[in-house]
């Protein structure tokens, strides 16, 4: 199960790295964003991330909408995805993309905190 956990953590950081890279490219109006692999790779990575996540949850018999910390992670992931889409795809201005991008990173750090502490409310 350590292997699955390592895959989960690897794909988690690939997701963050891929997001930051695309964020930089969108700020630079770079044509690199249109490359085929840049459009496909995030979906492949997210699929592996989620399969590993579900496997881990089943392994420790803890589930979203049953256990608070996993519920918090899933909800935060949805917010992270929304902010990511706002930053890369739908942002109306660069200023807006900076704000949503920073917010996405904050949510990501929150998810790392939830994963480490197994607690939705990190500071209580």
**Footprint of ligand HEM (CB under 6 A):** 5, 8-9, 12, 53, 56-57, 60, 62, 64, 70, 73-74, 77, 108, 111-112, 115-116
Shortest approach of ligand HEM to residue 5 CB, angstroms? 5
Shortest approach of ligand HEM to residue 9 CB, angstroms? 5
Measured from the CB atom, the residue of 33 and 51 that comes closer to ligand HEM is: 51
Shortest approach of ligand HEM to residue 65 CB, angstroms? 10
Chain centroid to Cα 36, Å, comes to: 21
Q: Are 83 and 77 in contact (CB under 8 A)?
A: no
Shortest approach of ligand HEM to residue 13 CB, angstroms? 8
Measured from the CB atom, the residue of 8 and 97 that comes closer to ligand HEM is: 8
Measured from the CB atom, the residue of 33 and 118 that comes closer to ligand HEM is: 118
Measured from the CB atom, the residue of 56 and 99 that comes closer to ligand HEM is: 56
- How far apart, in whole angstroms, are the C-alpha atoms of residue 65 and residue 109? 21
- How far apart, in whole angstroms, are the C-alpha atoms of residue 121 and residue 95? 30
Answer positive or negative: Cα dihedral of 43, 45, 51, 57. Answer: negative
- How far apart, in whole angstroms, are the C-alpha atoms of residue 89 and residue 33? 10
SS3 66: coil
């Amino acid at each position: 199960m350590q292997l699955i956990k390592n895959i989960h953590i690897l794909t988690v950081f690939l997701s963050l790295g891929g997001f930051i890279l695309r964020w930089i490219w969108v700020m630079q109006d770079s044509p690199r964003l249109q490359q085929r692999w840049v459009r496909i790779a995030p979906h492949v990575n997210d699929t592996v991330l989620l399969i590993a996540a579900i496997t881990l949850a089943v392994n420790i018999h803890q589930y979203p909408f049953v256990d608070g910390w996993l519920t918090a992670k899933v909800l935060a992931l949805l917010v992270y995805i929304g902010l990511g889409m706002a930053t890369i795809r739908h942002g109306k201005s660069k200023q807006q993309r900076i704000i949503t991008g920073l917010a996405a990173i904050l949510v990501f750090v929150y998810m790392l905190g939830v994963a480490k502490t197994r607690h939705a409310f990190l500071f209580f």
